[in-house]
Amino acid sequence: MPRRPGSFAARVSAWQRRHGRRDLPWQGTRDPYRIWVSEIMLQQTQVATVIPYFGRFMARFPDIEALARAPEEEVMRHWSGLGYYARARNLHRGAQEVVARHGGRFPATAAEVEALPGIGRSTAAAILAFSTGARLAILDGNVKRVLARHFGVEGAVDSASVLRELWTLAESLLPARGIETYTQGLMDLGATVCARSRPDCAACPVRDTCVALRDGRVAELPGRRPARAARVREVAMLVVVSGGEVLLEKRPGSGIWGGLWSLPEAPPGLDPVAHAAKALGVRAAAAEALPPFRHAFTHFTLAVTPWLLRTGRKAARAREPSGSTWLALGEVRSAALPAPVKRLLASLADRGA
């Protein structure tokens, strides 16, 4: 579709100045640290969910040095419930690298920013665009959707060839000035107008030149790979309670809920009492079945069968004793626990288990 040079960026920027978001807690600053934290939290997470977490996180870790000095467990506790916990670990490690390699000053070049853990090309560009005005293109999920629809880009947006095409397109559209307004405008447009489902095309500032709208293909674009059948992984969780405390295990750093405290697990179908005695050194007379629940991850669903075991003797695991701890049930709401585990234990605390 023919377009006037700069007209796309000009319309997006003008729309952002009139209708865009300007009162988010991480806006109105050039502080790269605050922008960095917000960009990481916003990955695969909605703004409304992020806002309260961002406030609490910044209150506890107001600068890079504070985050770098903090114990990982405390960082994870302030992230608990936000999901995708590798983001928190990468943010923590990144702060430590900034202090160690850059003297606590956030790096100023795209290559240096991308070298930090958990930061890719688009996130680095967003941080630098908002903090320094660097003329760099972003390409997050919302922007991919806007560009694919407006310019009629065919194919799955996560394929290598389409990504190359979208990056080339994104860079060609950059305005000569006002990169911050344009970048925020793209984000706002994708999040509030050009939504994945039920987009508000009538409110779109670039609707007059949108290929998808012209051709009646808004629902088809952007293209996606064929959906894979959802996998279900079954697991039993052992809720070992003694004297108002519950036994927890530290999960490995990699994998789901990495670095968080969680409940000991067992293969489904095993006798929970026998497994607790053998694997945990815990003796319980019987196990009470609790309501099962499911928790969806990006690529699979975890089907959990919890068992409540009451014991009169606290016993740490025979192996890796440093990886276990007892936590008072009354403290579970402030602990670094996965959200579904926290809900389960909070319900037990409420009923006086």
Catalytic (active-site) positions? 39
- Residue 125: CB atoms within 10 Å: 26
For residue 26, give every residue at least 6 positions away whose Cβ sits within 8 Å of its Cβ, in sequence order, or none: 34, 35, 37, 38, 54
- Residue 137: CB atoms within 10 Å: 23
- Contact at 8 Å (CB) between 198 and 207? no
Q: What one-letter code names the amino acid at 63? A: D
295, exposed or middle or buried, with CB in 10 Å at 0-12, 13-18, 19+? middle
Sign of CA dihedral 107, 109, 113, 119: positive
255, two tokens: 């994998």
Say how far residue 73 (Cα) sits from the centre of its chain: 17
Of how many residues is the chain composed? 353
